[in-house]
Amino acid sequence: QVQLVESGGGLVQAGGSLRLSCTASRTTRGIDNMGWYRQAPGKQRELVTTISRLRSTNYADSVKGRFTISRDSAKNAVYLQMTSLKPEDTAVYYCYADNYWGNYWGQGTQVTVSS
């Protein structure tokens, strides 16, 4: 089963930047899509962005133009560069991956944006 470990969260002021990283292990069966979701207090988990094996990307409207997803297949890693952060970006960010056999989630990393 694929295991995902995130890093890079933290506290940042509004307008600042953060870079999240996620590395996958136990990937002998391969990975198709990778991405990031987030969950703010009292809200449902929502899609932030995804990237396919062929590097096709998808972004939530709320982050378009501010966040950039990238992927390094050789390292089984996915990254999220976040710029122009807003207080409403505050959430726990979860790394996501899938393949034919299932969907996989990381443990989450907290991102807090102060105003």
For 77-92, the pLDDT digits (tens) are 999 999 999 999 999 9
Distance separating alpha carbons of residues 112 and 84, to the nearest angstrom: 13
How many other CB atoms sit within 10 Å of the CB of residue 6?
Answer: 22
**pLDDT, tens digit, for every residue of 3-43?**
999 999 999 999 999 999 999 988 878 899 999 999 999 99
**pLDDT, tens digit, for every residue of 36-71?**
999 999 999 999 999 999 999 999 999 999 999 999
Question: How much is the pLDDT for 28?
Answer: 78
Burial class (CB in 10 A: 0-12, 13-18, 19+), 61: exposed
% residues pLDDT > 70 (the chain): 100
Burial class (CB in 10 A: 0-12, 13-18, 19+), 87: exposed
Distance separating alpha carbons of residues 48 and 82, to the nearest angstrom: 11
